[in-house]
Amino acid sequence: MKRPRPELIAVYPGSFDPVTNGHLDIIHRAAKHFDHVIVAVLNNSSKKPLFSVEERKELLIAVTKDMPNVEVDSFRDLLVNYMQQKQASIIIRGLRAVSDFEYELQLASTNSKLNRQVETFFMMTNPQYSYLSSSIVKEIAQYHGNVSDLVPKIVEEALRKKYPSPSNKRLV
């Protein structure tokens, strides 16, 4: 008799500041291949975030609400410790370009060294999002450029609140 396989739990970690259509593409695709996907917002001490961890979680919850096997969470610990806590064995990482690979390989090797039970799965981004990053989105939004094709509508609205247009500001 064949034993049932254990549930495949994958974690997609990132700062998601803010979540972009590229991130959402990876989440959708990962959700098709794994039983449960945890989108884990990390508070990266080397970055100065525009959105708080709670705001990022709220945005992610809103844009993934139609995906029943996707959970949104946050963590401050080592990723491998978080993985163990969640009984997850797979890390999802998106690759936009060859230039991402060297850094991602270093992270994957380190995580594997820390916990041999953890595997990293690299997903190539959809070519239409290969140039897209949260940093680019924030810069465009800061100068009131159009980000409607880069982020979900709710994120576009949140960016407008963070970077109000000068014409929308009241004179004091």
**CATH number of the domain encompassing residue 78:** 3.40.50.620
Ligand-binding site membership of 16 (annotated): yes
Residue 171, pLDDT score: 44
Residue 97, pLDDT score: 81
Asked if the structure places residue 2 within a domain, the reply is no
Strand-pair category, 70-75 with 90-95: unpaired
Asked if the structure places residue 31 within a domain, the reply is yes
Q: Which residues of the chain have pLDDT under 50?
A: 170-172
Active-site residue, 96 included:
yes
Residue 113, pLDDT score: 94
Give how many domains the chain has, as a whole number.
Answer: 1
Task: Considering the candidates 33, 47, 153, 162, report the single residue annotated as catalytic.
Answer: 47
Residue 167, pLDDT score: 66
Is the full-model pTM beyond 0.75? yes
Look up the domain containing 143 and give its range.
Answer: 9-164
Active-site residue, 47 included:
yes
Ligand-binding site membership of 56 (annotated): no
Task: Considering the candidates 56, 57, 134, 138, report the single residue annotated as catalytic.
Answer: 134
Residue 170, pLDDT score: 47
Q: What phi and psi, each to the nearest 5 degrees, are found at residue 152?
A: -60, 155
Rg (CA), the chain: 17
Ligand-binding site membership of 93 (annotated): yes
Share of the chain above pLDDT 70, in %: 95
